[in-house]
Amino acid sequence: MGKDRIFKTKDKDDKDLVLKFARPSQKILNKADLVFRTSFSNALREGVLTAAEVDKILRERGIWDDDKELEAEKFRTEIGELEEKLKDPTLNNEQGKALCEKITSVRINLIRHNSIYTTVADNTCENMANEARNQYLCATCIHDNKTGLRVYKDVENFQDRLDEAAALDAYREAMIASLEAQTGRDLPSDLTQEYAENKWLAERGLLDGDSDDAAEEEKPKAKVKKKRKVRKKTKAS
């Protein structure tokens, strides 16, 4: 996990480009944490809800409750049970592929079920702070792999170039680098490669080049927004 993350992307002229996410120093990480805390505090002062507040509102309105949480847990349990069956070394290709298709189907159901919650919970103080932190890491740690030069002058320059494919790919790499720090292990740019069904298919040489439906629905979202102004809460008139 000490190596830089090298990734391919496209420049603004749609030409191939190789960039790298240079592992941040402790000084940069400390600044990134400060960016997170500052963004969180600013969002909170402007009236943005925290994750806990969103959860409370969703439950009060019946959008998400214990029954829906139980249903999500059932999906997760089913996926775990199917993944255990996939470990059986006596499975032939046909049996294994059928199991993989079943896991994919259940995974899609889980993603769609949870989207009721995640769609509403997207704009919280925590998410906005994470976005600010990742943007800072992009501006600071993304380098041209050939020249070694930084790609972005600062966060504002990164935000100004969000219409470029390279910026979205850079943001994805920053997100995955943060996940690596949390999990303590190397991760691929396409996190769906970590799925048990995809690993099994790859080991058997059966993995198609195209991503399956579950991969499309749950691949890490490199969606990042330009700096925005937050409307303050107003008292009811």
Q: pLDDT tens digits, residue range 116-133?
A: 898 887 889 999 999 999
Q: Assess contact for 122 and 129: CB atoms under 8 A.
A: no
Q: pLDDT tens digits, residue range 52-102?
A: 999 999 999 999 999 999 999 999 999 999 999 999 999 999 999 999 999
Which has the minimum average pLDDT: 41-45, 100-104, 145-149, 223-227?
A: 223-227
pTM of the model: 0.80
Residue 235 has pLDDT above 80, yes or no: no
Residue 207: pLDDT band (50, 70, 90) is confident
Structural tokens at position 191: 């996190």
Structural tokens at position 205: 């040489």
Q: pLDDT tens digits, residue range 19-46?
A: 999 999 999 999 999 999 999 999 999 9
In eight-state DSSP terms, residue 129 is H
Question: What integer best gives the mean pLDDT of the chain?
Answer: 88
SS (H, E, C) 7-45: EEEECCCCCEEEEEECCCCHHHHHHHHHHHHHHHHHHHH
Indicate the domain borders of the chain.
1-47+129-189, 49-122+191-231
Which stretch of DSSP H or E encloses residue 74? helix 66-85
